[in-house]
Structure 1
Amino acid sequence: MRNLYQMKNIERLSAGNDAHRRLIDSYTFIAAAEGRGELSIDGVRMLVDSGTVLFCNPGRMIEYRAAPGSGLLLDLISFRMFASPGQEAQPAGQAAYDERRSPWLPDGKLCPESPYRIGMLVKELRAIRSSDAGAEPFRQEMLLYELLHLLASGRRPDSETDIRPSRKGIELAIDYMHKHYREEISRDLLAQMTGFHPRFFSMLFKRETGYSFSDYLARIRIDRAKEQLLLTGGSLNDIARNVGYADGFYLSRKFKQVVGVSPTGYVREPKKIVVYDLVGHLLALGIKPLGASYNQGLRSLALLREELAGTPDVGYTSVEPMLQLKPELIIATDWLDRGMIEQLHKIAPTLVFHSGDPFERFKSLADILNRRREAEAFIARYEEKGERARAELNGLIGPDETAAVYEIWADCLWVMCESYGRGVYNLYKTLGFTPPAKVKRDVLDIGRPKKITLEELPDYAADHMFISVYPANGGAESAGKVMESAIWKQLPAVRRNRVYAIELDMIHSVDVLSLEKQLEIQTQLLKSALR
């Protein structure tokens, strides 16, 4: 198999003492141009300084920071790779080369044979990219091929001759601290493990990282404590033991030294939050997110457009758009792809909520964010509106009348449940409707929507039918055919004018703020039809 390579980009990153994160979406070489610091690839940490060269495959998350008192400049050279399986295996009419995404070289440090020449190639590539490369259309590709040849043929740093013994020992100590921070870790233990005298170990650690051993370990433990303070709601004593401290008093003192505020103060501080799906939960607590996303696109939250004005949509399939926002907390649902959730955990403490009662999720979130008072005020307001709606509908709806929500797709119909929005929660929990027997048994009790055919619809039909249309792939055309069918026209709700059309953008979301606004829409639809 032969490979072709195409230059994608070369850029320079600078870092201070704060951590920066970046999603690597192409094959990338990373060359440290100046300074020193620490860089991790998917959690594997390495010390870097001027002249260090690393390789990173696509789909990796890198985190980098400079050592205290030092800046750090990194050049990232990204490229695409195209592989040919051979002409004999190539179907007729198919492109001869396909883009490759699988791992090429192992992630991590390289030991090239010609570091000086590599530095010159990187400088020349940067110069070409920053100017008009039209005068030398092939020069960039020639430099790239030479650079790849030098780097790909370089050795991996798997022996003490490849890395200074001091650097290798300190990296072993750092790796051990990150994996065993819950346990008792002493300077003497790490010195013995790395083969240095304790005082010499302390000097080397400070030289290589910019931190004393004890300060570096404290940073690891306090970072883990931050996550547990936000995600677990555990006691200070429990969290202290979980991160390697004797008790909550000592954790509190250390926390204030490192962070500048007490653990309680940290929890109460407003956080920079990015939220996926549960946007209205945050807004109902009086918190505007730093960035947000929704599984149908943020624009589809029609009822929340005013509250979300100016909030960036971070998308639903990549963490890249939200990395520059540098969130301190991420709130998501299990509707997200598992790989996406794993990437979010690498960026900031991430709360993942599962399907269930929207108000129970809302109260749990309020407790975590110390917004119980705001949650109680919102719930009281919602319940008051529910009482008012029931009073307005009193006498218009019989005590045994049923209701359900349906959605028409291109090739089927769906009977909806509470955890998938569409105002279902309001109908049963707030307005007091009864579900049809088969809807209760096959949908609500199971907690999942049910896909049905038009022929099955009479078995699931209700006295009051709320209908939305999923427009993709011909849903609107299908809705027209459904409503022209004899089966549809014979439904009691259709014959009695008890069918209510609802726009998907208005009714889709299941967050509590949307439910409050949907309640008003549903009440008005019922009143208009029944009076």
Structure 2
Amino acid sequence: MVNWKDHSLLWNQAMIQVMDVRYNKMESKEQLRGYRLPSSAFIYSMYGSAQVWLDGNVNIVSRFHILHGGKGTHLDIEAEEEFAYFLILYKAALPQLCRRELQLLLERVHPFQLQYAFAPQYPIDLLDKAKQMLKEWEHSEALEKLHVKILFYQFVYDLLRQMYRQGIEASKPDLAAQVIRYLNDHYRETISLDSMAELLNYSPQYLSRKFKELTGRSPIDFLIRLRIDKAQELLVTTEATLQEVAASVGYPDLFYFSRMFKKYVGTAPGHYKKSMLIKEKVHDPANEGLKSSIVNRALQRYIDSGNENHYQYREGGEQLMFRKKKLSMAATVLLCAALLLSACGAGNTGNGGTSVPSPSQQSISEQAPAQTPAAAETTRSYTDTQGNVVDIPVHPKRIVMQGNIAGDFWALGIEPVGLDHRFIEGKETLYKQNNPAEDIGFPTNFEKVLSLDPDVIMLGYMMEKQYEEASKIAPVVVFDQAMPLKERLPVIADLIGKKEEAAQWLADYDRQAKAMWQDLLAQGKVKDGETAVVLIYYWDKSMYLMKKGGLADLLYQADGLKMDPAVEALHPLGDSPYISVTEEVMHDQLIGDHLFVLYPSNEDAKATFDELLKTPLWSALPQVKNNKVYFVDTKLNYTDALTSEQLLDELPKLIAQ
């Protein structure tokens, strides 16, 4: 039952703004289709008869009938004979500082969004006020606009009084049906929760909460599933490219479309199309009737200007309402039948009841993959080293890794699908038991990454805008690849679901390293308390002292060689892990019983390094005189687990030479 006391209270407290007053005349059999009310509105028929649909619910209207619909209501009219009516558009809102009780009452009752249609007992007074409003509205002076507002209040007062006396029941619009209809009509466009809430005259929070109560999912989730459903149809029934399909369902960004598609369907769009085409090789007559919807039909919209005066237009620019002549009686019968079926599917709006989704709406819900408890357990929330919170698979299968620690994955029995091959070139012997992943290039080629269909992308370092680009394809996790192996491997293992394997690998590594140093001590190759220093040499003759990472980490283990206090006191400039060394200061910085030299095994580096070996400064180094210099290929200086294992095997051989 309508509580007229509540309605009167809200009308009395609301700030009212008349947005437009129009008079429209339609010829016999003329149609108005797809007009969405830009604000709350009264429709008052002057003469003639027509069928009028409010959100798909049909009303048979003759002279002196009044209809009301809220902002966002979908209006269709079909004139049975010449039909004339007034359209009075208005906006109502409570003052911002009104009592909380009124705000709650507005959410519960919202008289400005109600839908109703009836024939008043005393229509002439209402007709006179509508005519006066139209006459005054045609003047631009502020005084006449004030008079329109006064007349509007009188119109509403008389209308509500007659509704009360006649026992007219108003019904709340089916919010879920309104949203679903809007999304079906506009899924190709950019849509946000805020824009839908504004269109339907609700707060975003209320719209989202009520829609989820009625459908079990959020409006945006419903939109995504609807778009993916449409995309699946296009992929199977057209020859459109992935970019064309993406754009036609509202995703101009192909990377983001592919990520959404995979999330909801379980496979990339290209793979889906191929698999479905294989299935469709068996002739199915039912598929012959499917038509492509990739070409946008003409959509009707309204302009929302700063003063909130709204005008309908077609894509060609024609203002006011879009009309078209009825082509045939058969077309009308089919159209009416479709609309009546839609109305039945949308549910009865009487008594504020909620609706049952139409068959087309149900198919959307049923075809979209539901988030079952079992499915929910396949992902988890993860916070990376940059503070980004992202949902990642519990056990990712297709990993793209940007960085130089691929050996961490291989040591744990995981084969990435994409890597930067710069970091594995020339290491065929090191990775001979593995099948290197495809090359993602440098800078990272994200089209290539997209083609690999990853379920997670791991970034050991980041370049400008890379996180944004990668996030359009798959969940992205950022980590610091420069962390020491013992700190980094548990992080990697946690990401890929290999915690136990990582713990076991580290325990085995420590045991083997300890055994190696004990063997070297027993053989007399090193002595207890001896020191070591690490120099890295580049082809351009630049030299750096290394205190950590790769080879240094293994040398300076608890059971290994020590770092001289003079070397320990040296510190790099800035964030660099390296300390610059020149020929002039070699004797002051390269202090240690053993000198380990890292240099690239290429011709340029070898040529310049040979020049250094011939200098008196080099020959005078204590380690050179004592034959305690060891040359190590820089390929063995990576900090990943697999390289560390290889270095563990090679180091005793180097020292024994």
- Please classify the TM superposition score into its range, dividing by the shorter chain length: 0.5 to 0.7
In the alignment, residue 644 of structure 2 is paired with which amino acid?
Answer: L
Measured at CA, do residues 527 and 499 of structure 1 come closer, stay the same or move farther in structure 2, by a change above 3 Å? same
Report the counterpart of residue 400 of structure 1 in structure 2. Answer: 529
Give the superposition deviation at 1:158: 9.8
Secondary structure in 2 matching 1:229: strand
- Answer whether contact 1:406 1:414 (CA < 8 A) is retained: yes
Cα root mean square deviation, aligned: 4.7
Give the superposition deviation at 1:278: 2.0
Report the counterpart of residue 502 of structure 1 in structure 2. Answer: 632
CA deviations over 1:44-77 (Å, ceiling 9, x no partner):
xxxxxxxxxxxxxxxxxxxx95526612454589
Report the counterpart of residue 437 of structure 2 in structure 1. Answer: 311
Give 2:568's match in structure 1, choosing from 424, 430, 440: 440
The runs of at least 4 consecutive aligned structure 1 residues that moved more than 4 Å come to 36-41, 75-78, 157-164, 197-207, 212-216, 221-228, 230-233, 443-447
Name the count of aligned residue pairs.
Answer: 331
- Answer whether contact 2:601 2:633 (CA < 8 A) is retained: no
Measured at CA, do residues 383 and 199 of structure 1 come closer, stay the same or move farther in structure 2, by a change above 3 Å? same
Measured at CA, do residues 286 and 464 of structure 1 come closer, stay the same or move farther in structure 2, by a change above 3 Å? same
Report the counterpart of residue 594 of structure 2 in structure 1. Answer: 464
Measured at CA, do residues 415 and 69 of structure 1 come closer, stay the same or move farther in structure 2, by a change above 3 Å? closer
Distance in 1, matches of 2:314 and 2:571, equals 63
Contiguous gaps of at least 5 residues in structure 2: 1-184, 193-226, 245-250, 254-300, 304-311, 317-351
Give the superposition deviation at 1:381: 1.9
* TM-score of the two chains, using structure 2 as the length reference: 0.43
Question: Are 2:514 and 1:387 aligned?
Answer: yes
Question: Are 2:348 and 1:348 aligned?
Answer: no
Measured at CA, do residues 343 and 290 of structure 1 come closer, stay the same or move farther in structure 2, by a change above 3 Å? same
Give the superposition deviation at 1:521: 0.8
Give 1:328's match in structure 2, choosing from 431, 451, 455: 455
In the alignment, residue 413 of structure 1 is paired with which amino acid?
Answer: M
Report the counterpart of residue 481 of structure 1 in structure 2. Answer: 611
Question: Are 2:513 and 1:361 aligned?
Answer: no
Question: Are 2:603 and 1:451 aligned?
Answer: no
- Answer whether contact 1:363 1:375 (CA < 8 A) is retained: yes
Contiguous gaps of at least 5 residues in structure 1: 1-35, 44-63, 79-106, 110-156, 165-196, 234-238, 244-262
Measured at CA, do residues 291 and 37 of structure 1 come closer, stay the same or move farther in structure 2, by a change above 3 Å? farther
Give the superposition deviation at 1:304: 3.4
- Answer whether contact 1:278 1:332 (CA < 8 A) is retained: no
Secondary structure in 1 matching 2:570: helix
Distance in 1, matches of 2:570 and 2:229, equals 57
Structure of larger gyration radius: 2
Report the counterpart of residue 648 of structure 2 in structure 1. Answer: 519
Secondary structure in 2 matching 1:361: helix
In the alignment, residue 374 of structure 1 is paired with which amino acid?
Answer: E
In the alignment, residue 500 of structure 1 is paired with which amino acid?
Answer: Y
Measured at CA, do residues 442 and 222 of structure 1 come closer, stay the same or move farther in structure 2, by a change above 3 Å? farther
- Answer whether contact 1:414 1:452 (CA < 8 A) is retained: yes
* TM-score of the two chains, using structure 1 as the length reference: 0.52
Distance in 2, matches of 1:495 and 1:375, equals 42
CA deviations over 1:181-228 (Å, ceiling 9, x no partner):
xxxxxxxxxxxxxxxx99899779959xx8459969x77x99999764
Secondary structure in 2 matching 1:442: coil
Report the counterpart of residue 297 of structure 1 in structure 2. Answer: 423
Give the superposition deviation at 1:382: 1.1
Secondary structure in 2 matching 1:348: coil
Report the counterpart of residue 16 of structure 1 in structure 2. Answer: none
Give the superposition deviation at 1:432: 1.9
Give the superposition deviation at 1:271: 1.8
Give the superposition deviation at 1:527: 2.3
- Answer whether contact 2:407 2:642 (CA < 8 A) is retained: yes
Give 1:67's match in structure 2, choosing from 230, 233, 238: 230
Secondary structure in 2 matching 1:468: strand
Distance in 2, matches of 1:202 and 1:274, equals 41
CA deviations over 1:440-481 (Å, ceiling 9, x no partner):
233489771122222122222132111122467943332122
Question: Are 2:537 and 1:373 aligned?
Answer: no
Measured at CA, do residues 214 and 289 of structure 1 come closer, stay the same or move farther in structure 2, by a change above 3 Å? closer
In the alignment, residue 314 of structure 1 is paired with which amino acid?
Answer: I
Give the superposition deviation at 1:312: 1.9
Q: Following superposition of structure 1 onto structure 2, how do residues 39-118 of structure 1 map, counting pairs within 5 Å?
A: 65=228, 67=230, 70-72=233-235, 73-75=239-241
Give 1:493's match in structure 2, choosing from 615, 623, 634: 623
Measured at CA, do residues 270 and 353 of structure 1 come closer, stay the same or move farther in structure 2, by a change above 3 Å? closer
CA deviations over 1:390-409 (Å, ceiling 9, x no partner):
11111432333221222212
Give 2:543's match in structure 1, choosing from 406, 413, 422: 413
Measured at CA, do residues 363 and 475 of structure 1 come closer, stay the same or move farther in structure 2, by a change above 3 Å? same
Secondary structure in 2 matching 1:456: helix
Distance in 2, matches of 1:66 and 1:498, equals 69
Secondary structure in 1 matching 2:439: coil
Give 2:381's match in structure 1, choosing from 229, 250, 270: 229
Distance in 2, matches of 1:229 and 1:416, equals 37
Secondary structure in 2 matching 1:418: coil
Distance in 2, matches of 1:513 and 1:163, equals 62
- Answer whether contact 2:599 2:605 (CA < 8 A) is retained: yes
- Answer whether contact 2:400 2:458 (CA < 8 A) is retained: yes
Report the counterpart of residue 58 of structure 1 in structure 2. Answer: none
